[in-house]
Amino acid sequence: MAALVRNDSRIILHLVILPTLTGHLLTNHIQDYDCFYASVFEVERPELRSLPLAVQQKQIVVTCNYEARRRGLHKLQLIKDAKRICPDVVIVLGEDLTKFRDASKELYVLVRSFVWGGRVEKLGFDELFLDATEMIDYNTAVLNQNDLANSYFHLDRNDPTAGFSYDATRFQGSTFPAAEAASITEKEPSSLEMRLLVASHLQGHIRSKLEHEIGFTATGGISTSKMLAKLVGNVHKPNGQTTLLPPYTATANNTSNVFHFLDDHEIRKIPGIGSRIAQKLKSHITGQESVDEKITVKGVRQFPGMGPPLLDRILGGPGSVKGIGMRMWSILHGIDNSEVLEGRDVPTQISIEDSYGRLDTLESVRRELVVLSRSLIRRVRTDLLDMSDDNVPQGRWRAHPRTVRLSTRPRPPSDLGGGRTYSSNRISRSAPLPPFIFNLEENIDALAERLVRESVFSMFRKLHPEKTGWNLSLLNVAVTNMVETAGDQKQNSGRDIGKMFRQQETVLKDWTVQEPESSAEQLPGSPEIQSQSDDGWDDDEPLGNVDCPICGVSMPYFAQLAHQIYHSEQ
Ligand code: DCP
Ligand code: MG
Ligand code: MG
């Protein structure tokens, strides 16, 4: 199967950068900000940096800083457990996502300003892929072979003074496999090794800018595909970076570092292999229905008879994606040809929602709709208006949504047998968006009142014609049907890995209840977490442990909403 591994594969940095080798791309991946939500609070209040800090959504710690992790706390832990393990933990509430979204955007804008061609793709709030192919090609071509130790990285082709000095005899950061001095052995400028080395310095430079100019540390991976860059970035976390060293293909004398790196990974850890796929592969390999045993990439790849046809048989069936066998076979060989796509400047829709413990009167609904509409209009202005350099909205709209949509999720009666088997989905209604919401002279409160009065509330009455008798657990107001202003068209956003997850896990819109336990418990508090749900998922409110249909992680039911919000931002 070595033939599948291309000699000229792309290089990806997680902070991804892509240079070209014989016409092919390299990608860098700025992997992942460290304890992202916690860092947002630390940037706001630097005194928190030295304290154990946990960010709370509902009853869980969605993330915590590394000081807290040193003391035994971890992501997706119950608040009460966190307090027991670390009584002096500082807890901050992270249910309003605005500040995380804003920080994410600021970081994205800074990173994108470095990358020629703007090929920077967001994955969620805190991960970026950068395709730096063009920059790396240029910079390897101008290397002075006689004085590599005093090289200069050009950040701008037209301005020779824009750039930084670096030592091109050694890699920046760590490598896989770890090399004592991580120095270069192959000096040919177009060699994969040299291109990766140069890319590692760009990665280091961007990471240090993020840290010193905005205050966030990030972890980076450098390789030839999104998948490899992302995975190799995990090797030194937090605040580190790792380059996957060549050779990427096996030769008579050398094994491939791609196999060397991937082979010990548990299959579930590979992007694109969700819990269902992992489970099916495990059952086939062990011959048992449910297996806890860890199965590695190597274990699957080298299983007798393994190949695309067998994978098709194991993974095919209703709801599976066509060609899944071949795709899995490629993934097991470290092959991911998905491109880093240029981010969109304009979202496809903007939506704001809240969930509620109890919402059963017209007056309370009207009040909440005004609150949501206010946030929505604020977001519409932030996301769709051109900003001047000092973040002041200019008068020009980059896009106009044409439709407003209201969705609700009625809570099913609590006397259903056992309260476990029902599912309750969202219902929605759409209408043309009244153009007055684009009026910048009017203040947002007044616009929100008017939007509810003239449009959203009557949509609500059509969805729920009865005056009483309903009880809602969620309201969502969205603007959709985005029409971009001419001349501002950008390539569609690329979320290949995200898409891969979705397709391979089939189009699972429902959360699967794994181990239902107690009967219908209602989530406390009202209103709860504000979120942007771009997926318009029809979500249940399951009980017991649930399995995320996108990434497969299993979690207590109360963590589901926070987790769903996390994906919906991607
Ligand atoms: N997040 C969430 N729900 C999850 C996972 C994450 O709300 N199930 C949020 C909180 C995180 C942010 O997304 O801060 C980024 O997720 P990461 O998994 O990258 O976690 P962190 O950045 O917090 O930590 P790490 O340093 O391990 O990357
Ligand atoms: Mg992340
Ligand atoms: Mg992170």
Task: Examine the domain organization and report whether 53 and 72 are in the same domain.
Answer: yes
pLDDT band at residue 477 using 50, 70 and 90 as cut-offs: very high
Q: Are residue 85 and residue 153 in the same domain, yes or no?
A: no
Q: Is 34 in the same domain as 142?
A: no
Same domain flag for 453 and 319: no
Q: What's the whole-model pTM score? A: 0.71
Instruction: Tell which residue, 316, 390, 288, 383, has the closest CA to residue 345.
Output: 383
pLDDT at 570 over 80: no
Between 270 and 252, the higher pLDDT residue: 270
CATH (domain of 184): 3.30.70
Q: Which two tokens stand for residue 247?
A: 């050779």
Please, are residues 512 and 525 in contact by the beta-carbon 8 Å criterion? no
| Residue closest to 563 by CA, chosen among 51, 15, 123, 61 | 61
Measured from the Cα of 64, ligand 1's closest atom is 23
Query: Could you give the percent of the chain with pLDDT greater than 70?
Result: 74
How many angstroms separate the Cα of 200 from the Cα of each of 131, 136, 228, 246, 489?
Answer: 13, 10, 14, 14, 32
| C-alpha 124 to ligand 2 mean position (Å) | 7
Show the domain range for 35.
15-96
pLDDT of residue 385: 87
Residues 108 and 235 in one domain: yes
CB of 296 closer than 8 Å to CB of 266: yes
- Quick: pLDDT tens for 53-80: 999 998 999 999 999 999 999 999 999 9
β-pairing, 545-547 vs 385-387, is unpaired
Distance CA(139)–CA(371), nearest Å, equals 51
Ligand at shortest distance from the CA of 569: 1
Q: What is the 20 CA–ligand 3 centroid distance (Å)?
A: 28
Both 306 and 354 in a single domain?
no
Q: What is the pLDDT of residue 98?
A: 85
Q: How far apart are CA 34 and CA 335, in angstroms?
A: 27
| 548 occurs within a structural domain | no
Give the mean pLDDT of the chain. Answer: 79
**Structural domain total, the chain:** 4
Atom of ligand 1 nearest to the CA of 559: 8
Query: Residue 125 contacts by C-beta under 8 Å, 6 or more apart in sequence?
Result: 36, 100, 101, 104, 566, 569, 570
Percent with pLDDT over 90 in the chain? 51
**Domain CATH for 71:** 3.40.1170.60
- Within 6 A (CB) of ligand 1 lie 32-37, 62-63, 75-76, 125-126, 238, 562-563, 566
Distance of CA 318 to the CA centre of its chain: 28
Whether 389 and 504 share a structural domain? yes
C-alpha 32 – ligand 2 centre gap (Å) = 5
Q: How far is ligand 1, taken at its centre, from the CA of residue 152, in Å?
A: 35
Last-in-domain residue among 466, 487, 510: 510
In this structure, the answer to whether residues 354 and 416 fall within a common structural domain is: yes
pLDDT tens profile 130-154: 998 899 999 999 999 999 999 999 9
pLDDT tens sequence across 203-225: 999 999 999 999 999 999 999 99
- pLDDT for res 252: 78
The answer to whether residues 147 and 132 touch, using CB atoms and an 8 Å cutoff, is no
Residues 424 and 496 in one domain: yes
pLDDT over threshold 90, residue 495: no
Closest CA to 41 of 63, 72, 73: 63
Q: Which protein residue has the closest C-alpha to ligand 1 atom 21?
A: 35
pLDDT band at 293 (very low <50, low <70, confident <90, very high): confident
Q: For residue 249, what pLDDT band results from cuts at 50, 70 and 90?
A: confident
Ligand number nearest CA of 240 is: 1
Q: Evaluate whether 174 touches 235 at the Cβ level (below 8 Å).
A: yes
Does position 395 have pLDDT exceeding 70, yes or no?
A: yes
Higher pLDDT, 252 or 353: 353
Q: Is the pLDDT of residue 351 over 80?
A: yes
Angle between helices 362-384 and 444-451 (to 10 degrees): 130
Q: Specify whether 376 is located in the same domain as 356.
A: yes
Instruction: Give residue-wise pLDDT tens across range 399-452.
Output: 999 999 999 998 876 554 443 333 457 899 999 999 999 999 999 999 999 999
pLDDT (0 to 100) of residue 17: 34
pLDDT at residue 491, as a whole number: 39
